Amino acid sequence: MSITAGKIRPAAEAGLRALRLLAQKLPGRLDDAALLTTIAFADESEPWATEATSKLASELLTQQLDEDTVKRQFIAEAILRDYLRPLFSKSRPATVTASGRKAEYIDPERQSGLPDDSRKTKPWKYEDLRAIPVLSWAVEAADVSYITYLPWPFILHDLTSTSSISQEELVSQHWPLFIPVLLTLADDSTTQVRARGLEILARFLAKFPGKKLQDTGLATVFEQAVLPTLLYLPALTPVDESLQLLEPAYAALLALADRLRADESGKQRTQLLGKLLREGVFTGYFHAREHVRIVNLLFRQAACIVTLMGINSVKHLKVRKNRRAKKKAQALHARPWYRSSLIIGLRILFPWSWLS
């Protein structure tokens, strides 16, 4: 990849300059294929992009998609419908239908065995590498963020960025076209792809209407898709890869929990946050407490979750002492996350006791 990227960078800068000159002199807009390639070079984090290509590509996209209606139509039709949908059609997860809605019946044959990670089923991963940066750009350009409170310190800086397309709420209207692609990336077997998919998913959930999440049943689908990533821990997963996955996975689930504020009772949101503590933070601490960087990440996430839960977090952190609860306490003591919850609870409530 590095050799290929090294050859692409100089040619890309020259090509983007030529495209910009042509766009200025010729009437009409560049074709969709040219714009999709331009988007891929607008993301400086990609190995084939540089600061110069990112600047040139961003200027060209602003020039070509200067009107809200043009930009909205390009995202909905050229990107989501005509480009990403057919590209991801053979790798769609079994939990959603082809139309992007929750599957009421899941074919057991599709969930059994190892996933097909070939070029035939995943051309977006091995052949057309524009797909992921294009999806990222589409999510970023779609709408403003609904997130009102983001407690986690690592959160992606652009979750609360504004967009001039917010009036039409593109995500709210065309969400079925986003869902299969996002879930496919978030479940990929390659660490870099999964991490990038979770990062994009976190930004998407920040823009997804909370009521629609519950009405469609997609809240459960997202939860079940992301929760397993919280168990990618040492020693089965290298520490660096574990950190690369855990950070965006918690970000996505916390964004999901924030969007569930629309639930009047708050029950679903509280249950999700409770799962994050028990099955994520406490279990993670029990299995990886000897790895300092993992523990640091888990403590940060625990503080964020407890802040969001408020008084509801007490039951996960308190120590039971009364006689009636003796048997229940003994059962809890046998669970791997029990002692972890005590330690983490004390360190959240009294941080100075271990930071000094």
Q: What is the model's pLDDT at position 348?
A: 55
Question: In this structure, what token pair is assigned to residue 264?
Answer: 């009047």
Burial environment of residue 35 by CB neighbours within 10 A (0 to 12, 13 to 18, 19 or more): buried
SS3 content of the chain, % helix, strand, coil (to 5): 70, 0, 30
Question: In this structure, what token pair is assigned to residue 227?
Answer: 């929760």
Secondary structure of 149-202 in the HEC alphabet? CCCCCCCCCCCCCCCCCCCCCHHHHHHHHHHHHHHHHHCCCCHHHHHHHHHHHH
Q: What is the model's pLDDT at position 344?
A: 59
CB 194 within 8 A of CB 186: yes
Residue 73 CB coordination number (10 Å):
13
CB 146 within 8 A of CB 158: no
Burial environment of residue 267 by CB neighbours within 10 A (0 to 12, 13 to 18, 19 or more): exposed
One pLDDT digit (tens) per residue for the chain, 356 residues: 444 666 777 788 889 999 988 888 888 888 999 999 999 999 988 988 999 999 999 999 999 998 888 898 999 999 999 999 999 998 888 888 777 778 776 666 656 556 778 889 999 999 999 999 999 999 998 865 544 444 444 344 333 333 434 434 788 888 999 999 999 999 999 999 999 999 999 999 988 888 888 888 899 999 999 999 999 999 899 999 999 999 999 999 999 998 887 555 578 888 999 999 999 999 999 999 999 999 999 999 998 898 888 888 887 776 555 555 555 555 545 555 455 555 555 555 545 444 43
Q: What is the model's pLDDT at position 77?
A: 94
Provide the 8-state DSSP code for 196. H
Rounded to whole angstroms, the Cα distance separating 134 from 79 reads: 8
Say what the pTM is. Answer: 0.82
Rounded to whole angstroms, the Cα distance separating 321 from 106 reads: 45
φ, ψ of residue 115 in degrees (nearest 5): -70, 150
